[in-house]
């Protein structure tokens, strides 16, 4: 079964994630960073994708914005990581500032909190400012960042 474990602000993993979270520090407050331990089915699928490659693939730690952070709890009832049926790809970016626009108030609790995953991704294709993959086996969620902030002015800026 998948599990979430809160990280302490002094934990080196927490500090590493914050160091790559490139939003202006005045525009957000981190509520929590949760370490995700995926069910063995997902971890095994990911490991097999690496193991069966003809050469060792590059693994990227990338951000993925979501409006549905609660989906991580629903994984135990499904074998899919993404329920997005509108497109055939999973999208990621090395920049939190880019995927931030794909986050939104977490439904049904609209208190201004947003969520972003940090995921290990292999076999990604570069597309514009994103890295995409078409196979869930190439993705393994590692962390869930819950944060809150005032993004009205930030969203109006163009992110290069």
For residue 57, give the DSSP letter: P
Q: Tell me the CA distances in angstroms from 88 to 2, 82, 136, one per residue in order.
A: 24, 10, 10
Q: What are phi and psi of 129, to 5 degrees?
A: -95, 15
| pLDDT of 58 | 76
Reference 80, options 121, 44, 112, 41; nearest CA is 41
CB 102 within 8 A of CB 62: no
Q: Token match 């944060």: residue?
A: 147
As a whole number of angstroms, the distance between CA 96 and CA 99 comes to: 5
| pLDDT of 143 | 94
Helix (H) or strand (E) holding 143: strand 139-148
CB 60 within 8 A of CB 121: yes
| pLDDT of 8 | 96
| Domains assigned to the chain | 29-150 (3.90.228.10)
Tokens of 27: 């525009």
Q: Token match 């294709």: residue?
A: 125
| pLDDT of 85 | 52
The pTM of the full predicted model, rounded to 2 decimals, is 0.79
Going residue by residue through the chain, which has 160 residues, state the pLDDT in tens, using 9 for 90 and above.
Answer: 678 899 999 999 999 999 998 887 778 889 999 999 888 888 888 888 877 766 667 788 999 887 765 555 454 444 455 555 555 667 788 888 888 877 876 665 667 788 889 999 887 677 777 777 777 788 888 999 988 876 554 444 444 4
| pLDDT of 118 | 93
């Amino acid at each position: 079964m998948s599990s979430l474990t809160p990280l302490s602000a002094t934990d080196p993993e927490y500090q590493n994630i914050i160091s790559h979270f490139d939003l202006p520090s005045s525009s957000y407050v981190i509520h929590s960073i949760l370490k995700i331990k995926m069910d063995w089915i997902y971890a095994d699928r990911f490991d097999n994708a690496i193991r069966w490659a003809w050469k060792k693939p590059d693994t990227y730690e990338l951000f993925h914005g979501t409006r549905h952070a609660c989906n991580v709890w629903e994984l135990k009832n499904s074998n899919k990581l993404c329920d997005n049926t509108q497109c055939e790809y999973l999208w990621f970016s090395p920049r939190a500032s880019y995927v931030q626009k794909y986050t939104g108030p977490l439904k049904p609790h609209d208190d201004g909190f947003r969520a972003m995953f940090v995921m290990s991704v292999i076999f990604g294709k570069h597309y514009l400012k994103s890295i995409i993959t078409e196979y869930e086996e190439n993705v393994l969620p590692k962390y869930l960042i819950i944060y809150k902030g005032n993004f009205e002015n930030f969203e109006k800026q163009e992110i290069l």
